[in-house]
A and B are shown apart, each in its own frame.
Chain A
Amino acid sequence: ETGVTQTPRHLVMGMTNKKSLKCEQHLGHNAMYWYKQSAKKPLELMFVYNFKEQTENNSVPSRFSPECPNSSHLFLHLHTLQPEDSALYLCASTLGPGEAFFGQGTRLTVV
């Protein structure tokens, strides 16, 4: 266990559905991240939050909407996704520079 918990672990959704991914950490970290991992591609940084403020959005389509209500919780709201959005979505947190702690990921399948 890394101290970063993601739910759900698996999610199957239709293209017209709305769902949310949740990430929480109680490590006292100030920064939280969403990464997307597709087959045979590097991890893609999607969003970064520092002290609840979004500091990076890497040209992510608007069908992905992040929310960070506090330093311990991070959400990724999903709506009208496409099949190519199927991937492993990983949440991570850090305290300053150094080691990132990752959750176990949510395996998302869009049908």
Chain B
Amino acid sequence: SQQGEEDPQALSIQEGENATMNCSYKTSINNLQWYRQNSGRGLVHLILIRSNEREKHSGRLRVTLDTSKKSSSLLITASRAADTASYFCATDASGNTPLVFGKGTRLSVIA
């Protein structure tokens, strides 16, 4: 069953702006991950945040996690045209369960 739900479904911004995507989930989690997918290609892992962490950074990426609200956000700062892709959050309920993905947010960065 679907666990993560990304919001918005689509986002269009100008190059240089920040992009924020949100993810909500339903049950308790072990960790939450964000992935990126270029059109018709495989998913690429971006960042993982554990259930006992609240914020994590990686380059221009910043991820927050609020387990009380069962939500996470992915912020991409100073966006570039090359950031155009679909972004997915994925959760696993425990260390032994497979990842469950949401429908994703389609980000378009206009040069």
Residues of A bordering B, CB below 8 Å? 2, 4, 6, 31, 33, 35, 40-43, 45, 48, 56, 88, 90, 92, 96-105, 107
Contacts and interface: CB of A to CB of B under 8 A. Distances in A.
Interface of B: 2, 30-31, 33, 35, 40-45, 48, 88, 90, 92, 94-96, 98-104
Which of A40, A48, A97, A105 has the largest count of B CB atoms less than 10 A from its CB? A97
B43 A90 contact: yes
20 contacts: A2-B42, A4-B42, A35-B101, A40-B103, A42-B104, A43-B43, A43-B88, A43-B101, A45-B98, A48-B98, A90-B42, A96-B95, A97-B30, A97-B95, A99-B33, A100-B99, A102-B43, A103-B42, A105-B41, A107-B40
Given A45-B100, A48-B98, A101 B45 contact: yes
Contacts of B45: 99-101
